[in-house]
Amino acid sequence: MPVVYPHCPPPRIAALASRPNELSPRASFWVSAGVVAHTLWTSAAPAMSYRLYAEHWQLSHTVTTGIFAIYPLFVVAVLIVFGDLSDYIGRRTTMLFGLIASLLGVLLFAIAPGVLWLFVGRALMGIGVGLSVGASTAAMVEFGTDAQVRRAASVTAVAQAFGFTAALLVGGALTQYAPWPMHLSFWVLFVLLVVLFVAVWHLPRHVGTRATSKWRPRAPSIPSVLRPAFTIAALAVTIAYTHGVLILSLGGQVARDVIGSPNALVNGAVLALFAVTSALSGAVARRLRPRLSMILGSIASAVGMALLALSVVWHALWLYLAANAMTGVGYGLLFLGGLALLNCATPAQHRGGVFSALFLFAYLSLGVVALGLGIVATHAGLSLAVDLGAGVIALLSLTAITLLVAQRKKSFLTETASL
């Protein structure tokens, strides 16, 4: 992950001799950022289509949230088994495997004649993102120039926000105004992923930092010295990702109820406010200390969840817009702070596994909460599901604030005692 502190040593990679047409370090950094962006674009791609699926195939909230939830559950499964794969076979090779799976998943959505195809497609998307997410995050550090690496945390946050925003706006526009509303946006994404695959093919041939050891399936491990920092970082990133349930899985239906508009582009633009504010907050806050960033992000997250619950009860558009904006700020600060906290402490030979473990917790929470809220929405109504989801995220945010303040106080007392 990104270098945030000036005393961090520059990252080092093992690479084979350069090939013809191999990308420069600067270009390699941006291609790796593109792979990061694809993880959120792929995740959010069906967001504007869930309502169409529900109407076309008479699906319940449980089924539509199930289509969403199978994705993070497969991401988790891949991260458990293959989380440190890129430490052995290299970042480039792992990202290529991930993009192949994502391409197949998007293709199934593009041609899907029935709901079963969507489940299989989402599973393949989950496999693709599970293989790509840790490798691309590490690659941004290892392939870029020193200047790029110092701002990789904020670029990572912006890349995710770009993927999220593009999925909602492009998907909303094509769903509303183009032919084949259930399929065309996925053909567009498929073409973009083909271009990205070709670009990744020309990345430096990275030799895994643990290539001398034999890889075997196992869960990503966290070195004991990293565990205190990892616990806080994982909680922060998990809270950030769990917002996706209310924005991506139920967000389209909530937006339609609150805004009162059947226009997919309008609803997508409102939801995209979350991504825009997350990118802006991540860019503005990149010089904050990680713990302060996470504390402020947790506060913004809790406030955003309160505003969301009120907007659903009162059907107030201005409250809903404020909730999306505040939640985006919370996401950006939590995500940036969590990544930055692990940046300097993680040695190169464990980088892929540690970042994969970080995303494992985030996606596991995403899947479990999505399934639970889908069942609640089906049997007790969308409003109660939103209230429960907002309450869970607010509680996690308050827990994070408590842990961060306690940890900061403990560090202060330790430093004082040593004087």
In order of their start, the domains of the chain are 23-213+222-418 (1.20.1250.20)
- Nearest one of 296, 306, 301 to 405, comparing CA atoms: 296
User: Whole-angstrom Cα distance, residue 120 to residue 144?
Assistant: 35
- Residue-wise pLDDT for 140-166, tens only, equals 878 766 666 667 767 887 888 899 889
Task: Retrieve residue 176's tokens.
Answer: 């509303």
Task: Retrieve residue 335's tokens.
Answer: 């995500």
Angle between helices 317-343 and 251-259 (to 10 degrees): 150
pLDDT band at 399 (very low <50, low <70, confident <90, very high): very high
Tracing tokens 């259930």 back to the chain, one arrives at 182
Q: Across the chain, what does the average pLDDT equal? A: 83
User: Whole-angstrom Cα distance, residue 122 to residue 372?
Assistant: 18
How many of the other CB atoms lie within 10 Å of CB of 380? 12
Of 45-49, 205-209, 222-226, 272-276, which gets the smallest average pLDDT?
A: 205-209
User: Whole-angstrom Cα distance, residue 201 to residue 175?
Assistant: 32
pLDDT band at 4 (very low <50, low <70, confident <90, very high): very low
Torsion angle in degrees (nearest 10) through CA of 218, 219, 221, 227: -160
- Residue-wise pLDDT for 326-384, tens only, equals 999 999 999 988 888 887 667 766 777 788 888 888 888 888 888 888 888 888 888 88
Rg for the chain (alpha carbons), in Å?
Answer: 20
Phi-psi region of 104 (alpha: psi -120 to 50; beta: other; left: phi over 0): alpha
pLDDT band at 42 (very low <50, low <70, confident <90, very high): very high
DSSP helix/strand/coil, 14: strand
- Residue-wise pLDDT for 208-229, tens only, equals 555 556 667 766 678 888 888 8
pTM (predicted TM-score): 0.79
Task: Retrieve residue 117's tokens.
Answer: 């195809």
Strand segments (E) across 33-183: none
The answer to whether the CB of 345 falls within 8 A of the CB of 318 is no
**Residue type for 123, please?**
A
Give 207's strand partners.
14
Mean pLDDT, residues 176-194 = 94
